[in-house]
Structure 1
């Protein structure tokens, strides 16, 4: 994993120093309202340590980055890729060509177009560095803010693959779409601290 920058953001791998940010996001009812019930402090801390442990594996099923505002050097959220366990091959290897993308921002970062910039750059990283063929977005249908920004990023909404209950929406963006339309220019940082 690398850190990388956009015009207004530094995106760097999650580390021990981000424990308070992680716990604050996962225990905040407003942040979690369209994801699931907020976690207790104890469960959020356990999830934080599990995430760091998984990220150290040779083939991690979770890769998480912290989003830092370059204007004031403050962490404003996290984003990442997950590879569902359903993508395990018969040989036990993980199917690496598709990942699910997600983002969580603290409430003070809302309304500043950070999700488009952060996720757009992570998508580019996924296609160029991780060699992904498809990036999936699954979110609560009632989460109109997420629906707006994934649409802005160009995610495709396949009507035949939507959840029958109407509670979740599924959209995807694939490598061919990306080749036709560069989202953001990201700069990979060679800083040994984050590689």
Structure 2
């Protein structure tokens, strides 16, 4: 089982143990609103999602982690690498942060930790993310982590017979590496002036 950790967050492979928390996320219509799907109605559906995620990792087409707070073991959310294309060294990501943990910096910490891991382990050149136009916090998060907005994908996602436009974002390896170097230098300068 994979295990990643930062100052406050622990990421681990999703498993059957995450059933209750995943069901809470996927059954909440407000949470699913920007995730591009209709909310689920049963824990059986949540277990099917978990099993799909486990198969995805076994088939080397992606990975999903469940995020927990290190000090309290509270569930924070999920983050996924999917649609891995070996020939073109690219994949897509998605993520959800539980409503009670939003706007506390956990999404940034979770995504930064995740990106560091997947760029190395999956030999990626490009990561894509697709965000509903109305999802401003997600757009701000991606841009903070150096993702570039590439344009608008018209009628990209259909949910309950309604089509939604999405922004297309990408992060390529060289942009990610530059961001790491800049952050390291800013951290060094900050420590010099303490």
Using structure 1 for the length normalisation, give the TM-score.
0.81
Question: Whose relative contact order is higher, 1 or 2, with alpha carbons under 8 Å and at least 6 apart?
Answer: 1
Using structure 2 for the length normalisation, give the TM-score.
0.81
Match of 1:151 among 130, 143, 156: 143
Tell me how far 1:111 sits from its aligned partner: 1.1
Number of the residue aligned with 2:48:
46
- Gaps of at least 5 residues in structure 2 are 156-163, 185-194
Q: Any runs of at least 4 consecutive aligned residues in structure 1 with deviations exceeding 6 A, and if so which? A: none
Number of the residue aligned with 2:38:
37
Give the helix-richer structure, 1 or 2.
Answer: 2
Summarize the Cα distance change of 1:49–1:164 in structure 2 as closer, same or farther, 3 Å threshold.
Answer: closer
Structure showing greater radius of gyration is 2
SS state of the match for residue 55, structure 1?
helix
**RMSD, matched Cα:** 2.1
Aligned length: 173
Residue deviations 1:113-154, cap 9 Å, x none? 111110111111111222111111111111111011111111
Number of the residue aligned with 2:179:
181
Q: Distance in 2 between matches of 1:16 and 1:44?
A: 9
- Give runs of aligned pairs for residues 67-146 of structure 1, distance below 5 A: 67-83=67-83, 87=85, 94-95=86-87, 97-146=89-138
- Gaps of at least 5 residues in structure 1 are 88-93, 186-195
